Amino acid sequence: EAGVTQFPSHSVIEKGQTVTLRCDPISGHDNLYWYRRVMGKEIKFLLHFVKESKQDESGMPNNRFLAERTGGTYSTLKVQPAELEDSGVYFCASSSRQGPLYGYTFGSGTRLTVV
């Protein structure tokens, strides 16, 4: 079974530019989560999709972040315009049922650097 795939693995962009991160969950997993770790800090929840619907987006930092999951398969997270404080590692995770009790698998992350 293929794991959670994230693309790109690394991205370096200038302040003010736009970046789109992609996550392909494990096939058949309805639940998809985005998390972010800013260097030296904790991993923070951003949002949770159930199929194509946003179940919880309470962790999204501001309206420069837009997450979509059209068709309930892969998801994208767009940052527009990027700011320096957006730098960090963005993780995606998926599960077949809600919550980490039922097999919650993380991807390898996208390391975003805004310069």
Give the binding site for other proteins (CB under 8 A): 4, 9, 31, 33, 35, 40-45, 48, 55-56, 58-59, 91, 93, 95, 98-101, 104-109
Name residue 1's amino acid.
E
d(CA 8, CA 112): 9
Query: Whose Cβ is closer to other proteins: residue 58's or residue 70's?
Result: 58
Q: How far is the CB of 63 from other proteins (least distance, A)?
A: 20
For residue 66, give the H/E element and its range.
strand 65-68
Contact 35, 60 (CB under 8 A): no
Query: Whose Cβ is closer to other proteins: residue 29's or residue 114's?
Result: 29
What totals of helices (H) and strands (E) does the chain contain, helices first? 0, 11
Q: How far is the CB of 36 from other proteins (least distance, A)?
A: 11
Query: Whose Cβ is closer to other proteins: residue 55's or residue 80's?
Result: 55
